[in-house]
Amino acid sequence: MTSATEAPKASFRLGMLIYDTRYRSITIQVIALVLLAVVLWWLRDNLVTNLADKGKDINFSFLWTRAGYDIDQQLISYTNDDTHSRALFIGLLNTLAVAFFGCILATIIGVFAGVLRLSKNWIVARLMTVYVEVFRNVPLLLWIILAYTVFTEIMPQVNDFKVTQAMIDSGTPAAASMLFDNTVAISNRGTSVPYPLLTHPLGGFEFLGIPFNFSFIAVVGLFVASIFASRGVTRRAKAVQEATGIRPVTWWKNLALIVLPTTLLFYALGLHWDVPHFNIDENGVWKGFNFVGGISIAHNFTALVIALSLYTGAYIAEAVRAGIMAVSRGQSEAAAALGLRQGRIMSLVVLPQALRVIVPPLISQYLNLTKNTTLGIAVGYLDLKGTLGGITMNQTGRELECMLLMMMIYLILSLLISAMMNVYNATTKLKER
């Protein structure tokens, strides 16, 4: 009786788990899984014991207590009475602001430097090579510090703008003056620019700490709508051109469509500018410590953006150069044979093809730039690292929670950026038939 049940499945032996390729991969994976589980359990166990040992717990409630410190750059309102979570949010916005402007500027610099490095102009090509090599081979931290220092050393002091009694008496002008019809002041403290104010604002509300400003939304919405409208006009002009061979004149329509509605809306809202100025007493003497009115963009922001984009731009320039060199020479020769000028050859023929090669390294450079914004702490820029991972961590002593939260936010940020760029990459990919 027993022989009947044994016979058919005798083929499996234990040794086959190692020797048979069909089963071996499963064996290896199971072993890996067990090992990983053991390591994770060990880490967790240590964490629990250590926390108990130090009398600590994992508790995020500190995020809702008063922060008590000030942040010099705030994109949305914040005072030291707000909570740590609000400070975190301000820091995150500051990180995003640097990353956003940095990426744009780095792309511009990188494309120009990459193209100019292949220029026939000897001195320009050499200068660009020097730029690329110098920036790529010296630590970013040094560039950030240098950029900040250069700003504070070269720009005039706020005091130099001031008109004193002695100056009025002797008729000498102040040592420094404001730009653009006294609306913009660049001092070594920052760039003071006019701030838009509305007489009849549309109001707004705050949701989850994020302010929604109806006036802002209306302006942006209208502007986007007018751009779409103007593109519609262009498209119709193209259709007319294809049908009749005559292209109707559209530039003034486009201009009117883009400019007029927004201008009208601004007028209706009662737009006026809060221009940076000094308080002036009855004798015409400028009083006070600093410009009042307008908003001031601190130099640690500007320096950080410039240093990051110059540094990343050097890498992008290399990617751009490689991309351009990857486009076969026949392409630009053919374009030249068609009678296109140098600039147009570059922008119409070479760059669009080079883009396919350029975009993947570009993505990783954007990611690097975003991660490198953390170096802003070297110039005291209060980004996510400065607020959550700096002052908040210091004041509350919650290093575990703060660091985990910070890592998570950066991770999500990186994943979002690479996801977005991958979508873009998919659209620029060579569509092979």
Tell me which residues in 316-355 interact with another protein (CB under 8 A): none
Q: Which stretch binds another protein (CB under 8 A): 3-11, 118-126, 177-185, 255-263?
A: 118-126
Residue (136 or 247) nearer to another protein, CB: 136
Q: How far is the CB of 374 from another protein (least distance, A)?
A: 4
Report the distance separating Cα 297 and Cα 135, nearest Å. Answer: 25
Total of chain residues touching another protein, rule CB under 8 A: 90
Q: How far is the CB of 298 from another protein (least distance, A)?
A: 7
Tell me which H or E stretch contains 185: strand 185-187
Does 36 help bind another protein (rule: CB under 8 A)? yes
Instruction: Count Cβ neighbours within 10 Å for each residue of 345-361 and write b for 16 or more, e otherwise.
Output: bbeebbbebbbebbbeb
Q: How far is the CB of 190 from another protein (least distance, A)?
A: 9
Residue (269 or 351) nearer to another protein, CB: 351
Question: What are the tokens at 380?
Answer: 């005291």
DSSP 374: G
Residue (156 or 196) nearer to another protein, CB: 156
> DSSP characters for 290-347?
EEESSEEEEHHHHHHHHHHHHHHHHHHHHHHHHHHHHS-HHHHHHHHHTT--HHHIII
Residue (129 or 250) nearer to another protein, CB: 129
Tell me which H or E stretch contains 279: strand 277-280
Judged by CB under 8 A, which of 209, 371, 421, 425 binds another protein? 371
Judged by CB under 8 A, which of 83, 129, 183, 188 binds another protein? 188
CA–CA–CA angle 112, 114, 118 (5° rounding): 110
Q: How far is the CB of 112 from another protein (least distance, A)?
A: 11
> DSSP characters for 204-231?
EEEETTEEEEHHHHHHHHHHHHHHHHHH
Tell me which residues in 87-116 interact with another protein (CB under 8 A): 116
Tell me which residues in 240-299 interact with another protein (CB under 8 A): 288-290, 292, 296, 298-299
Residue (6 or 53) nearer to another protein, CB: 53
Tell me which residues in 132-171 interact with another protein (CB under 8 A): 133-134, 136-142, 145-146, 149, 152-153, 157-159
Residue (400 or 421) nearer to another protein, CB: 400
Residues 393, 396, 398, 402, CA torsion sign: negative
Strand, helix or coil for residue 287? strand
Tell me which residues in 195-224 interact with another protein (CB under 8 A): none
- Whole-angstrom distance between the N-terminal and C-terminal Cα of the chain? 65
Judged by CB under 8 A, which of 70, 206, 281, 333 binds another protein? 70
Q: How far is the CB of 27 from another protein (least distance, A)?
A: 9
Does 307 help bind another protein (rule: CB under 8 A)? no
* Neighbouring C-alpha atoms within 13 Å toward the C-beta of 138: 16
Contact 306/105 with Cβ under 8 angstroms?
yes
